[in-house]
Structure 1
Amino acid sequence: MSSPTLKQANAIIEGVLSARRDAKIKPLAVVVLDASGNVVAAQREDNASMFRMDIALGKAWGAAAMGCSSRALGNRAKDNPAFFTTLAATAKGRFLPQTGAVLLLGDDGAILGAVGASGGTGEEDEACCIKGIEVAGMKTQAV
């Protein structure tokens, strides 16, 4: 399994931030992880509010760990809150099943990592992540 390169991760982040500016969303923090949950690249825009980086990381980490978008995780958490509370505790706060992170996929569909953002609504964060991945010429799954 390969991982996103630093160059690819930075291209994704620039695409996410460009989409944010185009949509006039509040400043974001963006995190690109490899499939093992390691940070490849991360940025916090000027004036992004407190906790944005932590929230973006938690969304992306959960997506990478569970192999699906953070939106899907949030939906699953509604049906099984005790399990997801236990997951969050086990992950020492790195697991956040809230809309705003999507998987980063290879050409063969293998999971390369995840991209998470925080600063707008969950839907806005997610849309910016998808756009950033597309702008970088990479793939994600349908949400």
Structure 2
Amino acid sequence: MPEISITRARTMIRKAIQKGHELELKPLSVVVLDAGGHVKAFEREDGAAPGRFAIAQGKAYGAIMLGMAGTAQMARAEAQGYFMNAVNGLFGGQVIPVPGGVLVRDKRGVVIGAVGVTGDSSDNDAICAAFGIEAANLVSEI
């Protein structure tokens, strides 16, 4: 099974944070999960709240476990809140169904992980995650 190397995970984090600086966003926290939902790498910028790890992880974890990015999860939660509530119960409340949880695909389209970004608006978080993923020469699904 293809996986995200630590070098690519670090690139994704560095570039996501760089994009946040370019956009003059609030301090970001970025996590990279592998295809099994396990943490590959994480970084929290100076000034970011300490609880941001759990939020970033929840955004990325939902993307991996459901096979759908945060934007699609949010649409599903709005249309079928009962479904997302049930799913979140199954996963111990670890799913945060909002933009900022972005699937990582290889060039063949295989999901190999997810990036979760938090710290600014969910839409801005998703932009930064996608930028980091694409900077690592992988494909993002917002």
Q: What is the rounded CA distance, in whole Å, between the counterparts of 2:66 and 2:30 in structure 1? A: 19
1:56 aligned residue: 56
1:25 aligned residue: 25
2:78 aligned residue: 78
2:97 aligned residue: 97
1:127 aligned residue: 127
1:36 aligned residue: 36
Q: What is the rounded CA distance, in whole Å, between the counterparts of 1:106 and 1:17 in structure 2? A: 22
Q: What is the rounded CA distance, in whole Å, between the counterparts of 1:26 and 1:20 in structure 2? A: 7
Q: Say which SS state the counterpart of residue 140 (structure 1) adopts.
A: strand
Q: Say which SS state the counterpart of residue 17 (structure 2) adopts.
A: helix
Which amino acid in 2 is paired with 1:20? G
1:3-14 to structure 2, matched below 5 A, reads 3-14=3-14
Question: What is the deviation of 1:83?
Answer: 1.5
1:112 aligned residue: 112
Q: Say which SS state the counterpart of residue 32 (structure 1) adopts.
A: strand
After TM superposition, the score normalised by the length of structure 1 is 0.95
* Larger displacement relative to structure 2 (37-46 or 132-141): 132-141
Question: How many residues of Structure 1 are paired with residues of Structure 2 in the alignment?
Answer: 142
Q: What is the rounded CA distance, in whole Å, between the counterparts of 2:99 and 2:140 in structure 1? A: 15
* Identity rate, percent: 35
- Within the alignment, does 1:87 sit opposite 2:92 as a pair? no
Question: What is the deviation of 1:50?
Answer: 3.9
Superposed CA deviations along residues 96-115 of structure 1, whole A, max 9, x for unmatched, are 11111111001110000100
After TM superposition, the score normalised by the length of structure 2 is 0.96
Q: What is the rounded CA distance, in whole Å, between the counterparts of 2:83 and 2:101 in structure 1? A: 20
Q: What is the rounded CA distance, in whole Å, between the counterparts of 2:93 and 2:8 in structure 1? A: 27
Q: Say which SS state the counterpart of residue 95 (structure 1) adopts.
A: coil
